[in-house]
Structure 1
Amino acid sequence: MIDLAAVRADTPGATRGVFLDSAGSSLPPRPVLAEVIGHLEREAEIGGYAAARERADDLEAGYGVLAELLGAEPDEIAFTDSATRSWLAAFDAIPLGAGDRVLVTEVEYAGNAIPILHRARQVGAEVVAVPSDASGQLDLDALDRLLDERVKLVSLVHVPTNSGLVNPVREVADAAHRVGALVLLDACQSIGQLPVRADELGVDLISGTGRKWLRGPRGTGVLVVRRGVRDRLRPRLVDLHSGQWVGPDEIRLREDARVHELWETSVADRLGLVAAARYALDLGLDEIASAVGDRAERLRRGLRELPGVEVRDIGRRHAGIVTFTVEGRTADEVAARLADDGVTVTASRVGSTRLDMTRRGLGEVVRASPHYFTEPAQVDRAVEAVSRCGR
């Protein structure tokens, strides 16, 4: 069990109202702050290159830390500056041509859908959305009907930005692999709140961020590339870190996941990301998932009891994102009123998950995302604040 008092003492922002936006950008703990700020101060003292050399061993060890977190090997880990960069690096390296198909879910995120549709138009590929089942998760029977030799990629969102849904992953990966398709898992909203292990989920690629549930710095991301799919990828976004210039007209690319990295990076932020991963591992991923699930379900129960408030979460299994609407109030109005009461939430709009929101007739929802450092009493306080929004 997580020591609530200890993690709150480690979280400077935890006492400043009720923070329910870890799905946006969470509150980093003190060890993360110490790494980032300490390294920036060292850069100011001796310069960025010298400061990086001092931490070379720690930076190298970071691959092992993220590999432990994500059920991978160190050579399957790449660091990037965001979940978007991780996802784009993976997607751009997957060969696609005329007549090929990319399957997406109805909860596909706009940051993925836009590049998928853009590239499909360029090469003549087809993008097909797998229908959801009655619960709202991906319909596995419908997936089976769509899978054939034309499908080169299944883009799977683990936890969408606009609801508490957790999509089935292993079942999707197993089905996709039967026809030779790759599976790219967007774990942007799951890494740090749920166990996400490549060796257990069976996917080929995983993209994620540091700033959300993992409680790392902004401007950090991670990409997992399993060894078995490296030869199928064709990285295009490469530089002098991704490869070597070995002759006047000859280059040699790296053979590990770091081929997807670029030379320039924020060393301070990367050290902060590694510290955040260590912090999560020390707490225990199962313990984190249990605590987050407890807070989220407490919030859902409280909201369901309020007149004029409708919880909008879908799926058979729920994670830490809780979405709802308040009759007669826009999402921005609710967020503003809650902010006046010291409760931090955000809004999710149709443009972020157009297929799902359109299917459900929603233009926007209020999104609340309690983490393990949120006290149960704070959840109750948030429910009481929502009750005043409809008055």
Structure 2
Amino acid sequence: MDIAKIRAETPGIAHGIHLLACGSSLMPQCVLDAVISHMELESRIGGYEAHTSEAEMLDGTYDSIASLIGAKRQEIAIMENATAAWCQPFYALPLKPGDRIITCQAEYAANYVAYLHRQKRDGIEIDVVPNDASGAIDLLALEDLITERTALISITWVPTNGGLVNPAAGVGAIAKKHSIPYLLDACQAVGQMPVDVEVLGCDFLSATGRKFLRGPRGTGFLYIKEKWLESLEPAALDHFSAPLIDSGHYALREDARRFETWENSYALRAGLKAACDYAMTIGLPAIQTRAWGLANGLRERLARLPGCRIMDLGSEQCAIVSFTIEGLEPDFAVRSLRAQGIAIGMTRPASSLLDAERRNLPVMLRISPHYYNDEADLDTSVVALKALL
């Protein structure tokens, strides 16, 4: 990996130290160029005309996403964000009173709200699988929770509040064994590690463009395993997802785009394609090795600070580092470092409430290096934190 070249291709490097890839990472120049170029084309010749002019490139976005995650292009729908992508299959599944959903302790709050919504509306029930000794999903306990009423397994692969990496492929093997649909929230995983839907064994996968993938905000995508396209009908339709045949009939699209609607931002799609292609050019295994290595080095540095506690769970930890420092208010630390041109973040208990309640978590600081960062970024940030003590 040519770090000097990568940093030169990242305009944000010139404006400070950015250590929050888990929120919204720095875009490479090619992504910025793709978005701006299409917007400029729209401004010159019109939106419809720009789409027609660039139709082949824009249509290739489906191929790029499919290649990124080991899927088929007909299994990909492009969405405006990861939540919209996740909600499409969740609300399309015909869950009925008494059906049970299995989820995890580290589940993202937005997903859990949706579970409660369908519990209230449809009478479903929610089972939460306990963690193993490392803090990851206990696969044996997961299998023990399954009954004839289990209708869905839905988990977050990498939570928003720390470095835990849940055993997503192990969950997939259990789901397949019991013929249970499996919905995987890969929002924090895509872009920082290899993702292969066949290895994962998931039926549905949702992700965003803005985090580790380094795409523009307002982009996301949904993977739906091909077999589900024969039976799963979206909760809402328009004339793109289901064209009218005559005044009394419509026909669902045969691909995953039945979960899309007609209007979208083609400029952002161009940026999403560029982000996928850029990541694949560098190589996801290399990205994982570097990003996770930087995060481990950061944990070692932070552990030497007085009163610092690293809060990450799991035997395998990714490029999200959560921690507290005794006597240091997270909001003050974030604002103080921002004033010095250093971007870090914090995570509040409400974002992963089940985990926060189980562990009695406070507001935590959160730093997430990516492969474009270097050791000097980590050193400078830790020195800045130490100066606040």
Q: Is the TM-score greater than 0.5?
A: yes
Structure 1 match to 2:217: 218
Matched, 1:342 2:366: no
Deviations 1:310-354 (A, max 9, x none): 111111101100011111122111211222332211111111000
Q: Structure 1 unaligned segments of length 5 or more: list them.
A: none
Give the distance between the partners of 2:18 and 2:257, measured in 1 at CA: 35
Amino acid at match of 1:38: S
Matched, 1:273 2:272: yes
Amino acid at match of 1:126: E
Amino acid at match of 1:310: R
Deviations 1:29-67 (A, max 9, x none): 110011100110110111100000111111221111111
Matched, 1:379 2:385: no
Q: Give the C-alpha shift of residue 293 in structure 1.
A: 0.7
Amino acid at match of 2:365: V
After TM superposition, list the pairs within 5 Å mapping 1:52-201 onto structure 2: 52-201=51-200
Give the distance between the partners of 1:46 and 1:224, measured in 2 at CA: 33
Q: Give the C-alpha shift of residue 180 in structure 1.
A: 2.1
Asked if 2 retains the 8 angstrom alpha-carbon contact of 1:220 and 1:269, the reply is yes
Aligned residues: 389
Structure 2 match to 1:50: 49
Q: Give the C-alpha shift of residue 232 in structure 1.
A: 4.3
Q: Give the C-alpha shift of residue 127 in structure 1.
A: 0.9
Question: Helix, strand or coil for the counterpart of 1:379?
Answer: helix
Amino acid at match of 2:247: P
Question: Helix, strand or coil for the counterpart of 2:182?
Answer: strand
Give the distance between the partners of 2:386 and 2:357, measured in 1 at CA: 27
Deviations 1:127-179 (A, max 9, x none): 11111112110111110110122111111111100010000011101112222
Give the distance between the partners of 2:352 and 2:370, measured in 1 at CA: 23
Give the distance between the partners of 1:290 and 1:389, measured in 2 at CA: 31
Amino acid at match of 1:122: R
Asked if 2 retains the 8 angstrom alpha-carbon contact of 1:331 and 1:366, the reply is yes
Please report the TM-score for the alignment, with normalisation by the length of structure 2. 0.98
Q: Give the C-alpha shift of residue 229 in structure 1.
A: 2.6
Give the alignment's Cα RMSD to 1 decimal.
1.0
Please report the TM-score for the alignment, with normalisation by the length of structure 1. 0.98
Q: Give the C-alpha shift of residue 374 in structure 1.
A: 0.4
Asked if 2 retains the 8 angstrom alpha-carbon contact of 1:148 and 1:179, the reply is no
Amino acid at match of 2:259: H
Amino acid at match of 1:259: R
Give the distance between the partners of 2:47 and 2:233, measured in 1 at CA: 32
Structure 2 match to 1:389: 388
Deviations 1:94-122 (A, max 9, x none): 11000000111101101111111101211
Q: Structure 2 unaligned segments of length 5 or more: list them.
A: none
Asked if 1 retains the 8 angstrom alpha-carbon contact of 2:136 and 2:314, the reply is yes
Amino acid at match of 1:141: L
Q: Give the C-alpha shift of residue 386 in structure 1.
A: 1.6
Give the distance between the partners of 1:358 and 1:255, measured in 2 at CA: 43
Give the distance between the partners of 1:163 and 1:38, measured in 2 at CA: 36
Give the distance between the partners of 1:360 and 1:338, measured in 2 at CA: 27
Percent of matched pairs sharing the same residue: 43
Asked if 1 retains the 8 angstrom alpha-carbon contact of 2:209 and 2:215, the reply is yes
Show structure 1 runs of 4+ deviating over 6 A.
none
